[in-house]
Amino acid sequence: MANVVLRDVRKTYTGGFEAIKGIDFEVGDGQFCVLVGPSGCGKSTLLRMVAGLETITSGDIDIGGRIVNQIEPADRDIAMVFQNYALYPHMTVYNNMAYGLRNRRMPEPEIDTRVQEAARILELGTMLDRKPKQLSGGQRQRVAMGRAIVRQPKVFLFDEPLSNLDAKLRIAMRVEIRKLQRRLKTTSIYVTHDQLEAMTLADILVVMNGGRVEQIGNPLDIYQKPATTFVASFIGAPPMNLMPLRSDEISAQFAGDSRAASEAGILGIRPEDFIISSETIVGGIALDLTVEAIERVGAETFIYGTRQHEIQGVAANPGELPPGEVIVRIPGAVAPAIGERIKAVAPRESLHLFSADGRKRIDL
């Protein structure tokens, strides 16, 4: 049991590329911390620095009250689950789990107890004599987790452990990992690029972008109050609608609000916060949209509309909406027809305002 503290951690590669640009956060004892961000944001590098597989250029990493910067991975009292599982292909499942313990010269009876216990928890009991080649992806994943569990480390590190599994198995394993972590109460750091995984697993969510932390907090808080436009569009699927607050119909609706008028440059609204109605809400916002496309997924329907007063264009970044396009999520399968003109309204409390550069949230 231990907490993990990062203090102004930086990583610069020999070529001069700065992968991690000063990161501070703390994971409390027994908490499940998820690092999430787009590929190349430095989340895996950061995890590998905690593991000791990458050197730390400056700053401190502290595991359980001990600064581990110069300590070998084996002596940091951590266990890691890799994306491709990294099982020893020539060893049986049993030996894969026992290997790390044998290297630590643990007595054989104790190893056996721990491996059997892990096998029972992970339902691997009948597979202990098999080689990794004879297992399915999900089973290999379990063995990789078993190898981490038997060590009884202070910290579990997960590097995108589910990304090699198919969608259904991924959800099942996600729930299992969460249950297991609750039961063992081991401090965990988990890296993923999947915002849904991040939302469902995390006690603390760390959203990263370009080697920096964008926001740290409880997942729901982050969802409800994103600190930057990056977080707003990264967390939540489909992403939050972001539109410039210019001297047009939108800013006119904020005419009475001096702060919004002076500081804010960008307005954000989540797709599910809209309702389609012909009446406006006092203090809220109303957008006139032309329906361009409709996606029905059964329980809900996504309407892609374009604003009539906006110039059409292409998205600046992948995953973002093109300017002028708005997604509205409505429950059920009844939706307007393509080409129809609709009015989407959102109440004042579900509006998000950001500074013009998107780096700062402005609370109404």
Partner 1 sequence: MVEHRPWNDIIAYAILTLGVFIVAFPVYVAVIASTHDAATVVGGRMPLSPGGHALENYYRAIFVGGSRTAPEPVGQLLLNSFISAIGIAVGKICISILSAYAVVYFRFPFRKTAFWIIFVTLMLPVEVRIYPTYKVVADLRMLDTYAGLILPLIASATGTLLFRQFFMTVPDELLEASRIDGAGPFRFFWDTLLPLSVTTISALFVIQFIYGWNQYLWPLLITTQDSMQTIVTGIKKMLVTTDELAEWQLAMATAVLAMLPPVAVVIFMQRLFVRGLVETEK
Cβ atoms of 81 and 186 within 8 Å: the answer is: no
Instruction: Residue 201: count other Cβ atoms within 10 Å of its Cβ.
Output: 24
User: Where does this chain touch partner 1 (CB under 8 A) — which range of 50-58, 117-125, 257-265, 346-354?
Assistant: 50-58
Q: Under the criterion CB under 8 A, does residue 88 sit at the interface with partner 1?
A: yes
Where do we find the tokens 């579900």? 350
- Shortest reach from residue 95's CB to partner 1, in Å: 10
Q: Under the criterion CB under 8 A, does residue 276 sit at the interface with partner 1?
A: no
- Shortest reach from residue 299's CB to partner 1, in Å: 39
Judged by CB under 8 A, the residue of 73, 138, 323, 347 near partner 1 is: 73
Q: Under the criterion CB under 8 A, does residue 82 sit at the interface with partner 1?
A: yes
- Shortest reach from residue 146's CB to partner 1, in Å: 13
| Both structure tokens of 139 | 């089973």
Nearer to partner 1, 87 or 205 (CB): 87
Judged by CB under 8 A, the residue of 12, 18, 92, 99 near partner 1 is: 99
How many whole angstroms separate alpha carbon 289 and alpha carbon 309?
9
Instruction: Residue 5: count other Cβ atoms within 10 Å of its Cβ.
Output: 18
Q: Which of 85, 82, 96 is nearest to 48 (CA)?
A: 82
Q: Under the criterion CB under 8 A, does residue 66 sit at the interface with partner 1?
A: no
Residues 145-174 that bind partner 1 (CB under 8 A): 147
Q: Under the criterion CB under 8 A, does residue 103 sit at the interface with partner 1?
A: yes
Judged by CB under 8 A, the residue of 49, 50, 79, 180 near partner 1 is: 79
- Binding stretches for partner 1 (CB under 8 A): 51-53, 72-75, 78-80, 82-84, 86-90, 99-100, 103-104, 147
